[in-house]
Each structure stands twice: as C-alpha cells, then as structure tokens.
Amino acid sequence: MDKEYPDINKAIEDVFDGASIALGGFFSCGNPVYLTTALSKLDVKNLIIIAMTMGIGNWELNELLRNRQIKKAICNYPFFRSVSRRSIFEEQLRAGEIECELTPMGTFIERLRAGGAGIPAFYTPTGVGTLIAQNKEVRLCDGKEYLLEKAIKPDFAFIHAYKADRTGNIVFRKTARNYNPEMAKAAKVTIAEVENIVEPGELNQEMIHLPGIYVQRLVKVDRPQIEATIEKPPEK
C-alpha cells in the first residue's frame, strides 16, 4: 500500500467548494505549509477551515483569506495577541465577510478526537457559565455542570510530519506533533506532507505516533525553514 503522491497538486485535487479542512499546527510549529500554499492556488471557495489560529504564525493561511476562499473558521486563538494589531482574518470578521466559531483549545482538540473515535458528542466542564455555553445543553453529572460539545469530522485534514513510511505510519518531531494526529484521525481524507519518506519496516514499530490507517495520502516535502514567531510574517 504505497500512499505517496509524487505531485502535491494531485494529492489535493479533489478538494471541493464548501469542503471542511483541518489544518494542523500550533502557531508557527508543525503547520502543513506546502499543502496550505497549494490550497491557496486551487480554485475552491466557501471552505470551512479548522485550525488553532487564523494566520498568526501559520502565515500561509493568510493567502486563503486574501483569496476569500474561507467562509467559516473554527478556531481557538484567531487573533494577534496585541489588540492594536488587526490581522486579515480580524478585518474580514469585522466586515461580516467570514464566520467564526470560537471554541476553547481543549474542547477544540477533544471535538476532533471524538470525531476520529466515533463519538458524536461529549460533556465537558470547560466553558460552563461563560459565553461558550450559549445555546448548548447543560447537564448535571454527580452534582457538577457540564456542556454538551459536538464532534468535528472534517472532509480533509492537512498535516505536517517529520517522517513516514510509504504505508502512512507517521512520526512527528518534538512539539510539531500538536494538533496533527487528532486532525488526521477525524478527517475523511488525510493528506500528510512529510519531510522524510522511508520504506515499510524502516520505522521503529514501537515508536509510531500515528498509525497509517488514518493517513490516505503522503507528499514528500523539503524541511521548511521557519522562524518561531507570532509577531510578523517572514520577509518574502
């Protein structure tokens, strides 16, 4: 079962108008930078993008915003830290051109985890008594209040990984793992851009972070050069 696609554009050619796509990465770390850029060159619109942030550290996502490819964002930390700086996403949100479903970080990843594990919804203590609880079922369990949160099952997940074998078994590197495994499990189709692709048997079987069953397509990429910052996009 060789899952490698020689051409990154071929690997994403079935992305369609209105598709929901989870993009891995935590600020600048572990983002599918090549896949996101390839998506920005694809003629698809009305996308639902599921990602921690909307163009802060994951600068490539701003191209999707500039192209007005995104209809809705599901995220947990969408803005610049300083309120005096406005991102493209914030400008579009202010103009009413894009929707934002804000979800606490732990709830965000658990919604994806649940989506990948056949759990349609779950109760969580996070957000009880806050704006996050609006229009959500509250349930008492052992005398404590919990919110009902629904799973997220994206059409696609784009992830970045350090190493994979051709069957899709994946190893991440350090904190670049972050959201990537659960997004891969939640999505119908997962496309991984990978820095190193090896033959089956070459990875330590005891040290696989994401079993290949969750990964449909692999694309070999060069290790990207990334500056860890949420202050400014890299100079072109």
Partner 1 sequence: MGKKFEGISRELMALRIANEIPDGSYANLGIGIPTLVSNWTEGRDIVFETEIGMLNTGPLAMGGEVDQDLINASCQPITELPGACYFSEAESFAMIRGGYMDVAVLGAFQVSAKGDFCGWNIPGQRPGHTGNIGGSMDLAVGAKKLIIAIEHTMKTGELKILDECTYPLTAKGAVDLIVTNLAVIEVAKEGLLLKEVASGLTPEDIQSVTEPKLIISPDVKEIEF
- 34-68 in b/e form (b: 16+ CB < 10 A) is bbbebbbebebeebbbbbbbbbbbbbbbbbbbeee
DSSP 119: -
Residue 76 interacts with partner 1 (CB under 8 A): yes or no: yes
Using DSSP, state whether 38 is helix, strand or coil: helix
Number of residues that bind partner 1 (CB under 8 A): 55
Name, in order, each residue with C-beta under 8 angstroms of 131's C-beta and a sequence gap of 6 or more.
Answer: none
Nearer to partner 1, 1 or 95 (CB): 95
User: Minimum CB separation from partner 1 for residue 13, in Å?
Assistant: 29
- Which residues in 1-20 contact partner 1 (CB under 8 A)? none
Residue 102 interacts with partner 1 (CB under 8 A): yes or no: yes
Nearer to partner 1, 81 or 236 (CB): 81
* Region of 61-69, 79-87, 200-208, 212-220 interacting with partner 1 (CB under 8 A): 79-87
Question: Pattern of binders to partner 1 over 202-231, x per CB under 8 A?
Answer: -------x--------------xxxxxxx-
Closest CA to 76 of 30, 108, 110, 48: 108
Which residue in the set 15, 19, 21, 29 belongs to the binding site for partner 1 (CB under 8 A)? 29
* Helices within the chain (DSSP H only): 8-11, 33-40, 61-66, 88-94, 105-116, 180-186
| Interacting residues toward partner 1 by CB under 8 A | 26-30, 57, 76-79, 81, 83, 90, 93-94, 100, 102-107, 109-110, 112-113, 124-132, 162, 172-182, 209, 224-230
